[in-house]
């Protein structure tokens, strides 16, 4: 790492670098986020680590003031598609807790030794240490925001035993779990993203499986297109906009959940009703992925804003994110259903699938009734029941079959290029669908839907080439952020996807 740049970021308390690296202080034995409000230490007393796990392995404990675990994740894991980035996305999704390091290595197609060597070389910690650091942060979150007994809490955070839970909390935070809970206040602490919202600890009517957390992000963030897109394309039964929040059902490894995401100036409020608390970490990270909260808007907007055509759009509403998905297979199926039809028609078709084949889900607070159907459930689908042209019915059937058999793999830890090739091989799936899935399901920041009608109309209105080939060539300076350029181009229309819904 560039030590001088890190020192300047710490001395400036620059929050843009939170999550990029962690600062350890030799004289105190603690590690902090770059924006820690404490007086910056002398440069000779600073040591820098690429991950919280590496700092912990070096013997440093987390700062009690700035809570370095409660920061946005490094943007690198969203921007890159190499082994380390793919591994970090899967670790964040809780794969190591569920399947261990061998399961992670198998999913990535590498040996355990190769995987550990590459993670150690870049992050200073292996997959077990990285997963352990994540469990510690989840444990702190549960300790401070719930009334769960410590034994249940340890289990929910992913620890194999109460002893391992106690030892990890003591080592990472330098206090016992009970001391952490005693210190926790009953109201919000300003500047402490990731903690509870007001009243969570005293709301005795809430079930043990309902957690309210803050999701931090790098500023600026434009919520209009992000929540506007999710609300405008919401499929009845699995998604809705209610009381100023986007709500949807989630299928998780140990059960299901209902997530309610509400934008606020400094964070996203995330309310999770979980059927199994072991899914908390996975649910939080899937919500972060859905809202693209680990993006680096300053770097993205600086490059796009250097283009004289995009500059006014970036200046008007900086910080646009790419609305993603919590289920890549779901988005791929919905993308094929939505080929060459309106947003309303696509919602209707998807809603019929949900009603006929989705698994019922409980929602105590709203109108959510189902989980989106699994690929195995849809494999039994009679294409003749779909109200669409015969060729598209065949495409839906072929896509579902490829997903169900494993011939098409779409997940956050997948290889982007391989997934693109597999998707393009599905009959009836063209460039628009491939790029849309790459952008919103795989998270490729450079995916560019040059054939999209809205993008082409915006390009024409702005004086850009409107044919796909010419527009793709003109968009070369926008790389590797063309997926974000799409959001700015879409924003030139008056479509509901660009407006934050009114209650």
| Domains of the chain and any CATH numbers | 3-62 (3.40.10.10), 76-183 (1.10.10.60), 292-498 (1.10.340.30)
So what's the pLDDT on residue 229? Answer: 96
63: annotated active-site residue: no
Q: 35 near 18, Cβ under 8 Å?
A: yes
Tokens standing for 6? 């890190």
Cα distance between residue 27 and residue 42, in whole Å: 10
Q: Which of 296, 327, 446, 452 is catalytic?
A: 452
The dihedral region occupied by 500, where left means phi > 0, alpha psi between -120 and 50, and beta the remainder, is beta
Long-range contacts (CB closer than 8 Å, 24 or more residues apart) made by 355-364:
355/237, 356/385, 357/381, 358/237, 358/238, 359/251, 359/256, 361/249, 361/256, 361/258, 362/258, 362/275, 363/247, 363/249, 363/258, 363/273, 364/273
Which pLDDT score, from 0 to 100, does residue 48 have?
96
pLDDT at 183: 82
Q: Is position 243 annotated as part of the catalytic site?
A: no
Is 75:85 a contact under the CB 8 Å cutoff? no
Q: What is the pLDDT of residue 198?
A: 31
Q: Which of 32, 63, 270, 287 is catalytic?
A: 32
For 55-76, b where at least 16 C-beta lie within 10 A, e where not — what string? bbbeebbbbeebbbbbbbbbbb
- DSSP type of residue 24: E
| 503 residues of the chain, pLDDT tens digit each | 689 999 999 999 998 899 999 999 999 999 999 999 999 999 999 999 999 999 999 999 999 888 898 788 888 888 888 999 999 999 999 999 999 999 999 999 999 999 999 999 999 999 999 999 999 988 988 888 778 889 888 888 888 899 999 999 999 998 999 998 888 754 344 444 443 433 333 233 334 468 888 899 999 999 999 999 999 999 999 999 999 999 999 999 999 999 999 999 999 999 999 999 889 999 999 999 999 999 999 999 999 999 999 999 999 999 999 999 999 999 999 999 988 888 899 999 999 999 999 999 999 887 899 999 999 999 888 877 887 888 888 999 999 999 999 999 998 889 999 999 999 999 999 999 999 999 999 999 999 999 999 999 999 999 999 999 999 999 999 999 999 999 999 999 999 999 988 86
* The 30-32 sheet, strands edge to edge: 46-49, 22-25, 30-32, 61-62
């Amino acid at each position: 790492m560039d030590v001088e740049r890190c020192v300047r970021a710490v001395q400036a308390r620059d929050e843009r670098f939170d999550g990029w690296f962690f600062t350890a202080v030799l004289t105190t034995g603690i590690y902090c986020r770059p924006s820690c409000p404490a007086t910056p230490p002398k440069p000779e007393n600073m040591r820098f680590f690429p991950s919280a796990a590496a700092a912990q392995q070096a013997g440093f404990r987390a700062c009690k003031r700035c809570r370095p675990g409660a920061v946005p994740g490094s943007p690198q894991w969203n921007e890159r598609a190499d082994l380390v980035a793919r591994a970090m996305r899967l670790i964040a999704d809780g794969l190591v807790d569920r399947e261990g390091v061998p399961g992670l290595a198998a999913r990535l197609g590498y040996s355990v030794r190769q995987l550990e060597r590459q993670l150690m070389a870049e992050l200073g910690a292996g997959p077990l240490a990285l997963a352990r650091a994540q469990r510690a942060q989840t444990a702190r979150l549960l300790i401070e925001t719930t009334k769960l007994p410590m034994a249940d809490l340890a289990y929910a955070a992913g620890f194999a035993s109460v002893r391992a839970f106690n030892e990890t909390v003591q080592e990472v935070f330098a206090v016992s779990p009970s001391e952490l809970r005693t210190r926790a206040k009953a109201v919000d602490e300003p500047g402490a993203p990731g903690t509870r919202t007001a009243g969570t600890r005293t709301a005795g009517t809430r079930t043990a499986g309902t957690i309210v957390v803050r999701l931090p992000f790098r500023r600026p963030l434009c919520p209009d297109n992000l929540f506007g897109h999710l609300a405008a394309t919401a499929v009845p039964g699995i998604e809705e906009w209610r009381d100023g929040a986007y709500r949807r059902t989630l299928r998780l490894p140990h059960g299901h959940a209902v997530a309610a995401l509400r934008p606020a100036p400094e964070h996203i409020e995330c309310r999770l009703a979980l059927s199994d608390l072991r899914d908390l970490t996975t649910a939080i990270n899937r919500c972060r992925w859905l809202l693209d909260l680990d993006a680096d808007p300053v770097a993205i907007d600086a490059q796009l804003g250097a283009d004289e055509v995009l500059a006014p759009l970036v200046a008007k509403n900086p910080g646009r994110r790419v609305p993603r998905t919590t289920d890549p297979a779901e988005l791929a199926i919905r993308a094929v259903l939505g080929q060459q039809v309106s947003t309303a028609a696509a919602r209707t078709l998807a809603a019929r699938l949900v009603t006929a084949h989705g698994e019922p889900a409980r929602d105590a607070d709203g109108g959510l009734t189902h989980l989106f159907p699994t690929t195995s459930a849809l494999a039994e689908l009679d294409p003749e029941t779909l109200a669409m042209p015969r060729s598209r019915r065949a495409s839906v059937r072929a896509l579902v079959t490829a997903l169900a058999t494993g011939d098409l793999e779409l997940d956050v830890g997948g290889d982007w290029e391989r997934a693109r090739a597999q998707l393009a091989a599905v009959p009836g799936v063209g460039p628009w669908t491939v790029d849309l899935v790459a952008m919103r399901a795989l998270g490729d920041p450079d995916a560019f839907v040059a054939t999209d009608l809205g993008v082409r109309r915006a390009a024409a209105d702005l004086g850009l080439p409107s044919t796909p080939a010419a527009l793709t060539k003109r968009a070369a300076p926008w790389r590797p952020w063309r997926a974000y350029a799409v959001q700015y181009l879409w924003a030139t229309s008056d479509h509901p996807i660009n407006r934050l819904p009114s209650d």
